[in-house]
Amino acid sequence: MVDFNRSPYSFLSEQQQATLPDFNKAVRLMSPYEDSTNSTWLLETDSGRLVLKLCDLQWVEESTFWTGMRLLFDLHLPVQMQKFDLVYGFINQHSPLSIPALLAAGASCHEGMYPGYVMAEALAGKALTNDAVTDASVRDLARHLASLHAQQQSQWGSLASPDFTAELWPVRLRDSMLSLASKQNFVAKELLDAMTQQALLCRPAVFSPIMPDLRWDQFLMHEGQLAALVDLDAFVWGPVEMEFVLLEYLLTADQWRIFTEQYQQYCPLPVLDIVRAPYRMMLFLMNVLGEKDVQKWMHAPHYL
C-alpha cells in the first residue's frame, strides 16, 4: 500500500527527480473517484504553486477504464506521459480554455516500478462539481468542445500518434467490447451480442480530439466562468459521437438545450441514432462514470 505520508518525490527514481524543482510543502489532493489511477499533489515552491501527478503502472493495469483505453485507442497512460508536451501544446492551441503550462513529464520506469509523472502549473480556480454547473459554464463547455471538434482528420488513436485508419474502427470497437465483457459479469450474452453486431455499423469518416472520460471535475471554475481544463490524460482522436453520447449523461435536459444552441454556432450536431447504443455499451464496459446497472445505463434519457 502506498504511504502518502512520504514525500511525493520519494516515489520517483533519482533520474526522474533530477529535473524537478525543490518544494517547501506538499499536500495530497483527493480524487472523488475511487478508481483514480493518479495520486495528485499540490507543491509550494519558491517560484509558485505546482501540481504533480504520479501514475502508478499497477494502478493503470488494474483500471477498467484504462484497460478500455488501451484496447480501443492503444493509449497506455504511463507510456503516453512522455508525449504530454505534444498533448498539452495541441489542446492549448485549439481550446479557448486555459491549459496549465507543462513543466515536466515522464513515462514509467519499469525497472523498480517507478511511476510516470507530470508536473504542471497550478491554475486559479476550483474543481467544478455537478451541483455548481451554471448556464454560463455549459456555454463555455460547448465552445471548448466545438473548437476541438472542428479539428478533423481521417485517422484515429492516441492524440500524439493517431495510427489507425477509419475502416479499423468498427472491428476494434467490437473486439474491445468483447475483451472487456469477458472480464465482467454485468451484461447478459444476448445484449452483448446485439451491441457487438451494432458496433460493426459504427463507421465514422472523420475523427476529432475527444475525452472518453469527460467529467465536470476535470475543469476549474474561476470568477463564475469555466476557466481551465486541468486533466488531459485521456485525450484521443476519436468520433465526436462518442463524446456526445457521454454528454447525455452529464447534462440535464435544460443544460442540453443551452449546450446545443451554443455548439451549433460553431459546428453541426452529430447524428447518434445508429451509434448511441453501442457507444453507451462501450462506455459502460469501461466504467466511465461508475454505473454498475447496465439496464439503467442503457435506458438513460437521450436528447439528440
> What does residue 16 show for φ and ψ, rounded to 5 degrees?
-65, -35
Buried b (16+ CB within 10 A) or exposed e, 208-236: bbbbbbbbbebbbbeeeebbbbbbbbbbb
Q: Check residues 46 and 5 and name the one with the higher pLDDT.
A: 46
195-238, pLDDT tens digit by residue? Answer: 999 999 999 999 999 999 999 999 999 988 899 999 999 999 99
Residue 2's pLDDT is 43
Given a cut of 70, is residue 46 above it in pLDDT?
yes
Q: Where are the alpha helices (DSSP H) in 110-168?
A: 135-149
Average pLDDT, the chain: 92
Of 135, 189, 178, 128, the closest CA to residue 282 belongs to 178
Residue 1's pLDDT is 35
Q: How far is CA 153 from CA 69, 149, 158, 195, 270, in A?
A: 20, 10, 13, 26, 16
118-162, pLDDT tens digit by residue? Answer: 999 999 999 899 999 999 999 999 999 999 999 999 999 999 999
How far is the C-alpha of 246 from the C-alpha of 238, rounded, in Å?
13
The band of 32, judged by pLDDT with boundaries at 50, 70 and 90, is low
DSSP 270: P
Question: Average pLDDT for residues 153-172, to the nearest whole number?
Answer: 96
How far is the C-alpha of 178 from the C-alpha of 167, rounded, in Å?
19
How far is the C-alpha of 195 from the C-alpha of 169, rounded, in Å?
15
Q: How far is CA 122 from CA 74, 127, 145, 181, 201, in A?
A: 29, 12, 22, 38, 43
How far is the C-alpha of 289 from the C-alpha of 217, rounded, in Å?
12
102-112, pLDDT tens digit by residue? Answer: 999 988 876 66
HSE value, Cβ hemisphere, 13 Å, CA-based, for 294: 20
- Single-letter amino acid, residue 211: M
> What does residue 48 show for φ and ψ, rounded to 5 degrees?
125, -175
Q: Check residues 63 and 110 and name the one with the higher pLDDT.
A: 63
